[in-house]
Amino acid sequence: MRISELSRRSGVSATTIKYYLREGLLPPGRQTAATQADYDDQHLRRLRLIRALTGVRGLSVATTREVLDALGEHGDDTHRVLGLALGAIRVADDPADRTADTAEVDALVEELGWQVHQDAPARAVLAGTLASLRCLGVPVDGRTLLPYARLAERIAVLDLDQLGGLDDPLEAAERALLMTVLLEPALMALRRMAQENESARRHGG
> How far apart are the C-alpha atoms of 123 and 74, rounded to whole Å?
23
CA neighbours within 13 Å on the CB side: how many for 37? 14
The predicted pLDDT at position 139 comes to 87
If one compares 21 and 119, the residue with the highest pLDDT of the two is 21
Average pLDDT score over the chain:
85
- C-alpha 165/C-alpha 93 separation (Å) is 33
Q: How far apart are CA 51 and CA 48, in angstroms?
A: 5
pLDDT the model gives residue 91: 58
Model pTM greater than 0.85? no
Please tell me the predicted confidence (pLDDT) of residue 95: 46
Q: Decide: 38 and 2 in contact? Cβ < 8 Å.
A: yes
What does 116-184 look like in DSSP terms, one character per residue? --TT-HHHHHHHHHHHHHHHTT----GGGGHHHHHHHHHHHHHHHHTTTT---HHHHHHHHHHHHHHHH
Which pLDDT score is estimated for 195?
Answer: 95
Give yes or no for a contact between 108 and 146, defined as CB atoms under 8 angstroms apart: yes
Please say whether the beta carbons of 43 and 67 come within 8 A. no
Tens of pLDDT along 181-191?
788 889 999 99
Average pLDDT of span 121-147: 89
Could you tell me what percent of the chain has a pLDDT over 70? 92
Lowest mean pLDDT among 14-23, 111-120, 150-159, 169-178: 169-178
Mean pLDDT, range 12-39, rounded to an integer: 89
Q: Of 132, 108, 105, which Cα lies nearest the Cα of 121? A: 105
**Average pLDDT for residues 24-30, to the nearest whole number?**
89
